[in-house]
Amino acid sequence: MNGEIRTQGIVLLSAPCGEYDRRLVVLTAQRGRITVFARGARRPGNAFSACTQSFTFAVFTLYEGRDAYTLKSAEQTRFFEELRDDPERACYGIYFCEMASNCAREGMDEENLMKLLYLALSALAKNVIDARLVRAVYELRCITDFGEAPLTDGTWYSRTGSGLTESPYGVA
């Protein structure tokens, strides 16, 4: 399945790989969580250096490989630079990206999770709503979309093939 695809996504994680490359974990609407290699992204003046940072929302053109994708081009749509200015908001942003990475599945439609992450990062960047409230709403929506749901009596239930069943993940 080697071909070129164009997809919109948010960079969840950006890590050095080799001498000049970067390994990205990107959340996309159509393909879920994917691994992307950006060749030469760490070289000074490289066109990919801005689009391969965490908290970047962009349209990516990728080559599909066997196990991962290779970045061909990227058009940055939004970079949440406000999150890098404040350590507390940066920590919340990293936490949101990590939670999205853990909840997202590869090869699955993750449009709702991507929208939720984008809205949560936008709310953090605007700094109008308390970050603790943004975190609580984000966690609840992620957990609910993942198939777990708290009820008003304090018990947790999971969605299964036979309907709602009591979950072992109770709240202490």
Instruction: Please count the structural domains in the chain.
Output: 2
| Residue at a domain's end among 29, 62, 79 | 79
* Residue 168 within a domain: no
| Residue at a domain's end among 54, 79, 104 | 79
* Residue 169 within a domain: no
Q: What is the pLDDT of residues 51-107, one digit of tens each?
A: 888 889 999 999 988 888 999 988 989 888 888 888 999 999 999 999 999 888 888
Domain range for 122:
82-163
Amino acid present at 67: D
* Residue 172 within a domain: no
Rounded to two decimals, what is the model's pTM?
0.81
Q: What is the pLDDT of residues 135-153, one digit of tens each?
A: 999 998 988 877 776 665 6
Q: What is the pLDDT of residues 92-119, one digit of tens each?
A: 999 999 999 988 888 888 899 999 999 9
CA–CA separation, 50 and 72 (whole Å): 14
Element housing 47 (H / E): none
